């Protein structure tokens, strides 16, 4: 039997061939994520500094991050819809290429000192960051249920390689930019343009056949075969979507809120930029580097167990951050490492839950919508954190964030009871 993709390509339905395509797709995702991570880091690292330099004030230095977040949320929605209709290749490549062209727009804005072009370009630069996040789903389209956590984790670790390399090239790219008559702070966006455009071209050229279209074709074949058997066709699990989305949204909000105010908190207690950079660097490492272990645990011990671990770990992070002496660098490092680790548990378990709960015919669309909520929750957490600290304290923010993460537990109990009821119902039918 042959499965036809919309591009008229054919692959055999044999499990061996599907696994071969799964591994090939994952390799392509890895390469695109390495470049995409470098582009992602460029915007986050110097966007605010470039705006400050062009405007001559720090009053609007937060605008670039807000525009990146807004653009990322809008792009996530569009990429999900485009991917659902035309496949991952077109959706993700389109997002990366848009981000790359927008990075060139940022460079041109810096050369011409055009602030409005800068803001406009940063808004569309978010398309690259949205593609970078959604690419983790492409590796799961042809994965079995026991491979999904691992596939997600490999994509996240690949992003780390680029995200770590990007900031370390700021000085080099700044010198390169100056040699071309471009302001030094625009240098990282030259790197971002090259990185995003390369990531987009890798996906556009090599992601054939498209994993989502193949997965959808396989589902259609199963639906046809199920008409002649007693095996039911898988359907979308709305409860699983709610739980998976809630896990990602809550962990993102708590993580961003505490992370955003930690450098300010440290500055108030006399810590220098080197100490702040060390804490945030370890935090980012804890967000991504444990992914391979986390992915294996998500596949082995289950999504709900790791989502529960996310809630507990974030609570511990909040408690440690709240009780840490302001001058204790070691305790703050521990708090931010736990914060990153809890986010890692939540993102991978939540993503795997979303994949489990959807079918190929709706998966990309649902995933895009979930990533919109994740982006907006992060923006909300970042904006609210400053207000909360201004009205109370960093300790209250940390405790509040930790307690908020405990909302994951009732959700997990809810879905666990549902799974038990389903198993009992299946056993009754089998008997």
Would residue 403 count as lying in a domain?
yes
* Whether the predicted pLDDT of 57 surpasses 70: no
Give the pLDDT of residue 228: 55
Residues 262 and 162 in one domain: no
Residues 343 and 294 in one domain: yes
Q: What is the rounded CA–CA span in Å between residue 238 and residue 418? A: 12
Split at pLDDT 50, 70, 90, the class of 10 is very low
3-state secondary structure of 12: strand
Residues 79 and 218 in one domain: yes
Span 49-76, mean pLDDT? Answer: 75
CATH number for the domain that contains residue 248: 1.20.1250.20
Would residue 188 count as lying in a domain?
yes
Q: Which two tokens stand for residue 77?
A: 């929605």
Would residue 271 count as lying in a domain?
yes
Split at pLDDT 50, 70, 90, the class of 267 is confident
More confident residue, 418 or 308: 308
Q: How many separate domains does the chain show?
A: 2
* Whether the predicted pLDDT of 292 surpasses 80: yes
Can you give the pTM of this predicted structure? 0.78
**Which of 226, 261, 288 delimits the end of a domain?**
226
Split at pLDDT 50, 70, 90, the class of 269 is confident
Residues 134 and 256 in one domain: no
* Whether the predicted pLDDT of 12 surpasses 70: no
Residues 213 and 258 in one domain: no
More confident residue, 429 or 213: 213
Residues 261 and 175 in one domain: no
Most confident of 39-48, 137-146, 332-341: 332-341
Residues 420 and 297 in one domain: yes
**Which of 198, 226, 254 delimits the end of a domain?**
226
Residues 246 and 220 in one domain: no
Would residue 287 count as lying in a domain?
yes
Would residue 163 count as lying in a domain?
yes
* Whether the predicted pLDDT of 366 surpasses 80: yes
Give the pLDDT of residue 231: 54
Give the pLDDT of residue 7: 45
3-state secondary structure of 395: helix
Give the pLDDT of residue 296: 92
Residues 222 and 280 in one domain: no
Would residue 235 count as lying in a domain?
no
Split at pLDDT 50, 70, 90, the class of 262 is confident
* Whether the predicted pLDDT of 277 surpasses 80: no
What is the chain's mean pLDDT, rounded? 83
Q: Which of 316, 318, 319, 313 is nearest to 347 (CA)?
A: 313
Q: What is the rounded CA–CA span in Å between residue 275 and residue 262? A: 11
Least confident of 118-132, 159-173, 197-211: 159-173
Split at pLDDT 50, 70, 90, the class of 1 is very low
Give the pLDDT of residue 59: 58
Residues 88 and 161 in one domain: yes
More confident residue, 220 or 109: 109
> pLDDT tens-digit profile of 142-190?
888 888 888 888 888 888 777 767 666 777 888 888 999 998 888 888 9
Q: Which two tokens stand for residue 348?
A: 């991978």
Q: What percent of the chain has pLDDT over 70?
A: 85
Residues 278 and 192 in one domain: no
Q: What's the domain range around 303?
A: 242-430
Would residue 308 count as lying in a domain?
yes
Give the pLDDT of residue 415: 65
Least confident of 1-5, 204-208, 237-241, 424-428: 1-5
Residues 252 and 367 in one domain: yes
Split at pLDDT 50, 70, 90, the class of 249 is very high
Q: What is the rounded CA–CA span in Å between residue 305 and residue 264? A: 34
Would residue 388 count as lying in a domain?
yes
Q: What is the rounded CA–CA span in Å between residue 352 and residue 268? A: 40
Q: What is the rounded CA–CA span in Å between residue 254 and residue 250? A: 6
Give how far Cα 146 sits from Cα of 108, 140, 211, 280, 358, Å: 47, 10, 17, 33, 16
3-state secondary structure of 3: strand
Span 247-268, mean pLDDT? Answer: 88
Q: Which of 161, 142, 200, 136 is nearest to 37 (CA)?
A: 161
Give the pLDDT of residue 283: 85
> pLDDT tens-digit profile of 212-236?
999 888 888 777 765 555 555 555 6
Span 32-43, mean pLDDT? Answer: 80
**Which of 194, 226, 258 delimits the end of a domain?**
226
3-state secondary structure of 10: strand
More confident residue, 386 or 99: 99
């Amino acid at each position: 039997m042959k499965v036809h993709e919309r591009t008229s390509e054919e692959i055999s339905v044999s499990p061996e061939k599907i696994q071969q395509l799964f591994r090939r797709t994952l390799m392509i995702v890895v390469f695109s994520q390495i470049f995409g991570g470098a582009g992602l880091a460029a915007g986050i690292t110097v966007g605010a500094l470039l705006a400050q330099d062009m405007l001559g004030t720090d009053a609007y230095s937060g605008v670039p991050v807000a525009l990146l977040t807004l653009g990322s949320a809008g792009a996530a929605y569009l990429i999900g819809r485009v991917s659902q209709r035309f496949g991952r290749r077109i959706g993700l490549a389109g997002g990366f290429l848009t981000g790359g062209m927008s990075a060139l727009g940022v460079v041109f804005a810096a050369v011409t000192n055009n602030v409005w072009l800068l803001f406009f370009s940063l808004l569309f630069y978010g398309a690259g960051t949205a593609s970078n996040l959604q690419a983790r789903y492409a590796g799961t389209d042809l994965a079995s249920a026991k491979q999904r956590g691992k596939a997600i984790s490999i994509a996240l670790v690949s992003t780390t390689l680029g995200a770590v390399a990007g900031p370390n090239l700021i000085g080099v790219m700044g010198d390169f930019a100056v040699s071309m008559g471009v302001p030094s702070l625009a240098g990282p966006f030259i790197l971002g343009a090259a990185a995003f455009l390369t990531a987009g071209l890798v996906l556009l050229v090599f992601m054939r056949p498209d994993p989502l279209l193949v997965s959808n074709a396989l589902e259609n074949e199963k639906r046809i075969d199920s008409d002649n058997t007693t095996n039911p066709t898988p359907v979308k699990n709305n409860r699983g979507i709610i739980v998976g989305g809630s896990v990602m949204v809550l962990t993102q909000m708590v993580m961003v809120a505490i992370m955003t105010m930690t450098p300010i908190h440290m500055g108030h207690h006399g810590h220098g930029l080197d100490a702040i950079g060390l804490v945030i660097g370890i935090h980012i490492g804890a967000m991504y580097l444990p992914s391979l272990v986390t992915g294996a645990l998500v596949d082995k011990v289950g999504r709900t167990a790791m989502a529960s671990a996310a809630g507990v770990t974030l609570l511990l992070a909040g408690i440690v951050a709240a009780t840490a002496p302001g001058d204790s660098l070691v305790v703050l490092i521990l708090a931010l490492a736990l914060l990153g680790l809890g986010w890692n548990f939540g993102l991978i378990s939540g993503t795997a839950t979303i994949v489990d709960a959807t079918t190929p015919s709706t998966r990309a669309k649902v995933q895009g919508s979930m990533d919109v909520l994740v982006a907006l929750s992060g923006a909300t957490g970042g904006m609210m954190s400053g207000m909360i600290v201004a009205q109370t304290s960093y300790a209250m923010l940390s405790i509040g964030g930790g307690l908020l993460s405990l909302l994951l537990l009732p959700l997990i109990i809810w879905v666990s009871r549902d799974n038990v009821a389903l198993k009992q119902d299946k056993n009754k039918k089998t008997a």
